[in-house]
Amino acid sequence: MSEGGSMTKRAGVQLPIYAFNGDADGLCALQQLRLAEGADAVLVTGVKRDIGLLERVSAGEGVQITVLDVSHDHNRGDVERLLGEGASLRYFDHHFAGELPVHPRFEAHINTAPDVCTSALVNGYLGGRHVRWAIAAAYGDALPALGEALARAHGVDGEVRGRLEQLGILLNYNAYGETVADLHFAPEALADALLPFADPLAFIEANDVFAALDAGYRDDMAKAHALRAARNVPGAQLIRLPGEAWARRASGTLANELLQREPDRALAVLSPKSGGGFVVSLRVPASSATGADDFCRQFETGGGRKRAAGINHLPEAELDRFAARFEAAFKT
């Protein structure tokens, strides 16, 4: 059930609410929990940058809300509001969280280490019951070492691992866009398409969604790889994308791929917004003294995690300031 946060009952039964990031990590974390705990729920989600999800949720006494892969720091006020309304919140995340509430109805599973993703936290919570979804998520979230570690720990061989990596990348690619209209599939529709499949490989083989995502990915990334950097200094490069839907879809995946290709170089990918300004995707080397999240939080709508972060709205007037700070922070 994915009608939104206001419809919380079916046949007199209070439905749980899942608020989840629409990327690979959020989707695969949701999939694990729905497989383990039941699918009947209200889904609240959006494009990857739509992280203030709890402002769209209203819930009263006894409602169980699970939040997946969105920063508590960005949702702090609504967490307090929902707790005050009598709801219970369970929070799984790996982004900067800020100060957490101390409350008997707030349950936190938050780890901001750079080698952790939300789906891995859910996998640990569930004792590895649906680990293949967590492996796909790790690859999709640009954490290949984590994906490989989970695969080895659970006896997942190289061929299967490669298919899970491909799935994770495609699920993540689908989440990037200014609005849901930019995406191939709305995240809640994608969540419902995944739901019948306990094994990700069965989804790959039995559902035409995978083939559609793969075709879109190949077309968009071919265009993205032909772009040249707008600014390029030792240790850092900045790429400015055209203001087209394909470029918005490709932005995050391009950033991840370029970082893997040149792991010792910071990268900023700027996507123009239809109303002016830019969305920024930032990737930094593991050795960087400045975390991607710390850098992006210098700007009003910035946040994320240690190696991968972003700014949801960088005004055009701040572009030169951003570029100068970016080069000063990461130039080698």
C-beta separation of 28 from 171 below 8 A? yes
Architecture field, domain 231-330: Roll (3.10)
User: Which pLDDT belongs to residue 4?
Assistant: 43
Alpha helices, H only, 90-157: 118-125, 131-140, 144-153
Determine how many CB atoms are found less than 10 A away from the CB of residue 218.
9
Assign domain 9-216 to a CATH class: alpha beta
Segments of the chain assigned to CATH 3.10.310.30: 231-330
DSSP structure string for 30-61: HHHHHHHH-S--EEE--STT---GGGG----T
**Which tokens is 202 given?**
């069965």
User: Which pLDDT belongs to residue 8?
Assistant: 61
Cα separation, 284 vs 292, in Å, equals 6
How would you class 94 by CB atoms within 10 Å of its CB: exposed for 0-12, middle for 13-18, buried for 19 or more? buried
- Please give the biggest Cα pair distance in the chain: 62
Q: pLDDT for 128-141, tens place per residue?
A: 999 999 999 999 99
**Which tokens is 54 given?**
């709890």
3-state secondary structure at position 237:
strand
* C-alpha closest to that of 60 among 81, 41, 31, 46: 81
Q: Is the pTM of this model over 0.85?
A: yes
**Which tokens is 187 given?**
């995240």
Per-residue pLDDT of the chain (332 residues; tens, 9 = 90+): 444 444 565 555 689 999 999 999 999 999 999 999 999 999 999 999 899 999 999 998 999 999 999 999 999 999 999 999 999 999 999 999 999 999 999 999 999 999 999 999 999 999 999 999 999 999 999 999 999 999 999 999 999 999 999 999 999 999 999 999 999 999 999 999 999 999 999 999 987 999 999 999 999 999 999 999 999 999 999 999 999 999 999 998 998 889 889 999 999 999 999 899 999 999 999 899 999 999 999 999 999 888 899 999 999 999 999 999 999 999 98
Q: How many residues does the chain have?
A: 332
Interacting residues of 65 by C-beta distance below 8 A, sequence separation 6+: 16, 17, 18, 19, 54, 57, 59, 82, 87, 88, 89, 90
User: Which pLDDT belongs to residue 260?
Assistant: 86
Interacting residues of 127 by C-beta distance below 8 A, sequence separation 6+: none
Segments of the chain assigned to CATH 3.90.1640: 9-216
